[in-house]
Amino acid sequence: MFFCLLLLAFVAASSVCAASTNSSGLIFGYYYIVTAEDGGAVQYTNNDDGEYTLEWTNNSGSFVAGAGYDPGSAQTIRFGSFEVAGSSYLSIYGWTTNPLVEYHILEQNYGGNDPPVGLTWKGNLTSDSSVYDIYETEIVHKQSILGVTNFKQYWSIRQDLRSDGLVTTGNHFSAWAAVGMPLGTFNYQIVAAEGFASSVNGSLTNAVESPPAGPVRQFSCLVQAHI
Ligand SMILES: *[C@@H]1O[C@H](CO)[C@@H](O)[C@H](O)[C@H]1NC(C)=O
Ligand SMILES: *[C@@H]1O[C@H](CO)[C@@H](O)[C@H](O)[C@H]1NC(C)=O
Ligand SMILES: *[C@@H]1O[C@H](CO)[C@@H](O)[C@H](O)[C@H]1NC(C)=O
Ligand SMILES: *[C@@H]1O[C@H](CO)[C@@H](O)[C@H](O)[C@H]1NC(C)=O
């Protein structure tokens, strides 16, 4: 896989390499991750500096995929979604350890998916021109970055949904801490698309940008994740 990536970098930007399972790695300064479960299938393409495209066809499962940083931080992240169809969430998504937390700053909800079930409302904050509602829940015995275990899930859900803009993540992290939702040590932090069980075909092109991460290099790689 990574040999393939390396090879391609020197061969042709339009080349494609494929893996038929979950994938993650670093491509010229940007971390990316693709996971699919329960029959989810998604094609992930890194286009160039932090930009990626996702396509899914007749997806009967779910997936999470995106590009960003490892580790994350309380940084301002620019995202931009240029084309979308199908059913998905667009969010700043990440994990911390000690405590083990999975978090979402939800910016867009394509297809009007139901909000996640079982969330407890903890408060709200105003950031980046909208109010966000803060929620917390406890996830029991599910897959995490540390394997199957229990963990907290934090959400900021934007009231005025949008498909591009700047997210001042530090505002959320401070607001969460103030209502008893502390983060731990940052793990990965990505601009993520999350698709759900649906027989809808979708596609999304997105870009992630923050303080520039290293030299800008042209790159293209296709990752297919499915089970
Ligand atoms: C891919 O990751 C998902 C989510 O962590 C997991 O449920 C699934 O079993 C993984 N698939 C494979 C083939 O390892
Ligand atoms: C779409 O998915 C459903 C459920 O998995 C399956 O029954 C159906 O045959 C699929 N359709 C196509 C065109 O692949
Ligand atoms: C934010 O939360 C407060 C209660 O803490 C509530 O009174 C207020 O209406 C909320 N604002 C919005 C815009 O939801
Ligand atoms: C999804 O794409 C597949 C393959 O291109 C096609 O057969 C199917 O009809 C499409 N389904 C929808 C709901 O558009």
Confidence check: pLDDT of 24 > 50: yes
Average pLDDT over residues 2-24: 43
Express as a percent the part of the chain with pLDDT over 70.
73
Q: What pLDDT does residue 34 have?
A: 84
Q: What pLDDT does residue 170 have?
A: 96
Catalytic residue among 55, 102, 107, 209: 102
Output the pTM of the full model.
0.82
> Which of 63-77, 97-111, 124-138, 166-180 has the least mean pLDDT?
63-77
Pairing label, strands 76-85, 41-48: unpaired
Q: Which domains does the chain have, with CATH numbers?
A: 3-226 (2.60.120.180)
Residues with CB under 6 A from ligand 2: 58, 60, 199
Token code pair at residue 105: 């700053």
Whether cis (ω within 30° of 0) applies to the bond prior to 99 is yes
Among candidate residues 97, 168, 67, 179, the one with its CA nearest the CA of residue 134: 179
Catalytic residue among 51, 55, 136, 194: 194
Express as a percent the part of the chain with pLDDT over 90.
39
Kindly state if the Cβ of 143 falls inside 6 Å of ligand 1: yes
How many CA atoms within 13 Å lie on the side-chain side of 175? Answer: 23
Ligand 3 pocket test target in 121, 124, 133, 159 with most atoms within 8 Å of CB: 124
User: Which of 4-18, 77-91, 151-165 tops mean pLDDT?
Assistant: 151-165
CA 115, 117, 120 angle in degrees (round to 5)? 95
- The reply to whether 136 belongs to the active site is no
Number of Cβ atoms within 10 Å of the Cβ of 7: 11
Residue 4: pLDDT band (50, 70, 90) is very low
Average pLDDT over residues 157-167: 92
Average pLDDT over residues 90-111: 94
Task: Yes or no: say if 173 and 182 are a contact pair by the CB < 8 Å rule.
Answer: no
Computed over every residue of the chain, the mean pLDDT equals: 79
Task: Report how far residue 105's alpha carbon sits from residue 121's, in angstroms, rounded to the nearest whole number.
Answer: 14
Task: Yes or no: say if 64 and 177 are a contact pair by the CB < 8 Å rule.
Answer: no
217 vs 111: which has the higher pLDDT: 111
- The reply to whether 37 belongs to the active site is no
pLDDT digits (tens, 9 = 90+) for 127-152: 999 999 999 999 999 989 999 999 99
Beta strands in the chain (DSSP E): 23-27, 30-37, 41-48, 51-56, 62-69, 76-85, 88-97, 101-110, 120-127, 130-144, 147-158, 164-168, 185-195, 202-209, 221-226
